[in-house]
Amino acid sequence: MSSRPFDLLNESIGKNVLVVLKDNISIRGKLKAFDIHMNIVLEDAEKLEDGEVKTKYGKLMVRGDNVLMISP
């Protein structure tokens, strides 16, 4: 069981996560890496609009100060 926020992220490496960014942008992809600033690397990343895939990115690095939420 996760007791700290980074424990949850460590358990989510290699799994699909939903990332909500500023301006209500949602990105879904496989979490590959993260750092203490919440910069994250996603693989097979897709931008979602109204639950539908709008854009496919492949590998994507998201700067941590844009992240509002990460859901495993």
b vs e for 18-31, b when ≥16 Cβ sit within 10 Å of the residue's Cβ? ebbbeeeebbbbbb
**In angstroms, rounded to a whole number, what is the distance separating the alpha carbons of residues 51 and 59?**
20
As a dihedral over the C-alpha atoms of residue 28, residue 30, residue 34, residue 37, rounded to 10 degrees, the angle is: 0
Q: List the chain pLDDT tens, one digit each, 72 residues.
A: 668 888 999 999 999 999 999 999 999 999 999 999 999 999 999 999 988 999 999 999 999 999 999 999
Number of compact structural domains in the chain: 1
What CATH number is attached to the domain comprising 9?
2.30.30.100
pTM check: above 0.85? yes
Residue 20 lies in domain:
5-71
**In angstroms, rounded to a whole number, what is the distance separating the alpha carbons of residues 47 and 70?**
14
